[in-house]
Each structure stands twice: as C-alpha cells, then as structure tokens.
Amino acid sequence: MAWLSITLELPSVQAETLSEALLEAGAESVSLEPTSQDTTTIEPGARLRVIALATTTTDPAALVSVAAAIAAIAPPGFTLATVEDQDWVRRSQSQFGPICVTEHLWIVPNWHTPPDPAAIVVRLDPGLAFGTGSHVSTRLVLRYLAKHIRGGERVLDYGCGSGILAIVAGKLGVGEIAATDIDPQALETTAANAANNGVALKVTAPESLPPGVFDLVLANILAGPLITLAPLLAGRTRCGGRIVLSGILETQAAEVALAYAKDFDIAVDTVEEGWALVAGWRK
C-alpha cells in the first residue's frame, strides 16, 4: 500500500504542536526529525522537519489547514511525496532506537537488543499509531508513572494511541487496565502492542468502557480536547484518585488546570522543552 507523505519545516515548539494537531486532523502517522546534520541535541528555536503520512485520497492542503487551526498557527508550506509500506518500515528502523525513560525503564523497538536487560523493557515499534515514547509529552507521563505507581491500581488510558502509557503502567505492576481511543486503528495497535508485551488490557471504544471509577486516569491528548473532557474524566476518577494530563504546551497548562480545578486539587507537575504535565488528586 502507498501513502501520501507531507513534509513541513517549523521551529521546534511549533513543529511538536503541529505534529499532534496533524494526528487530530486525520493524519495516520507523524514523525519529527532535525533539519541539521547534528541529531544529538535540538537547541531552543531550532527547526524540525515534520513528516505526516496520510492515505492517498487525502487532500493535503485541507489536512494542513485544519491542523494549523487546531495548533493556532498560520498554515505552513509543505512538500509531497508517495511512500510505499516497505520504505516506511526501512525509514523507521533507521530513525528509531531504544529510548531511556528512566534508569530502569526502556522503550525498545523489536529490531534492537535492550541496552539493559535487567531494566523494565517495553517492546514498541514506530508505526501508524502515534506514541513511541520519543515525544516529550509522552516521556513526561512515563516518568510520572515510574515515580508514582505503587502497584494494583485500576487504570484508565484515555486516548491510548499506541497503548504505550497503558503498557508501561502494566509493566510497573498496576491491576486492571482499560485503554480507549476514538480511532479504531489505535485500538487495534494498542491491543497488538499489549499482547506483544504480555500485558493484559481491556481495549475498547469510549462508549464501551467498563463501568466504575479508576484509581489513575491518564490522558495524553491536546489541550483543547482535555478541557472538553474534564467532566467526563472527573467522573471516571475515584475520590482520592490521581489524574495525569499531558500533550499540553507550557503556555496552555494554567487553562487546562483551571478546567479541572472544580473536581481536583491540581497543578502543573513538570515542564520540559515547552511542554507541561498537569496532575492532581480527585477531591
């Protein structure tokens, strides 16, 4: 199968915002890469290349325009190419290596040997569903989980993408896990990734979630949807339970926290590279 590849170049913070907005607008996959030859560091203000994959029937101008509106930026210019499945696989394997989340937690593609076999290793390949652990917003949640999970919690991953948050939670010893997304492809990918990692999940569309409340609710989406979802997610968090929100620009964090303040003791927990994690306890 062939895919439409849409390539844009933007300053790093705008590029990361637009990458998630492109997925929200309907892109099948989005990756980021430096525009310079030095890939070891990305300096503040540096430009990044955003590469979105979409079906060949997609109107690329409309996709970029909708994504730019979601990201609150002017529609940028872009270039187009056609990419075959095997080209995508080869490109992914050359780009993505093991990701060290913490000293004892690694995200490792299947074609790599784990750098530390004694650590907790999550096997996850880059694919058409977003969420390999490389994005700052994902790493913020993973580090929070590594620090705060005590074991046995009932967990909801809302907007699961590739399932990375739910799978890591499972590897860290939580109890029952429900993962949900509005994208059927994300549900299929989450189920496959969980099985590959030996983690038991309930993977379902939002309207089919199991009843009851959860000890820990995770949502790594975008600021706008998070604000809209505040009543729903509050209703799914038990009194005294935790909520962890990410996919939020630092400049949006106060607005997101305010949307949840009626039901949670909540605040900005961590900020990194212009992205924020907002977390709190259900009142």
Q: What digits encode the pLDDT tens for the residues 156-181?
A: 999 998 899 999 999 999 999 999 99
Distance CA 10, CA 51 (A): 11
How many domains does the chain contain in total?
Answer: 2
| pLDDT tens per residue, range 195-204 | 999 999 999 9
Quote the domain boundaries for residue 177.
135-282
Query: Is 13 in contact with 249 (CB distance < 8 Å)?
Result: yes
How do beta strands 275-282 and 237-249 pair? antiparallel
Is 25 part of any domain?
yes
Three-class DSSP category at 194: helix
Residue-level pLDDT at 21:
86
Distance of CA 178 to the CA centre of its chain: 16
* pTM (predicted TM-score): 0.74
Confidence of residue 72 (pLDDT cuts 50, 70, 90): confident
Is 41 part of any domain?
yes
Is 11 part of any domain?
yes
CATH of residue 224's domain is 3.40.50.150
Q: Tokens representing 192?
A: 């496959």
% the chain with pLDDT above 70:
87
Is 187 part of any domain?
yes
Last residue of a domain, one of 93, 127, 154: 93
75 and 172 in one domain? no
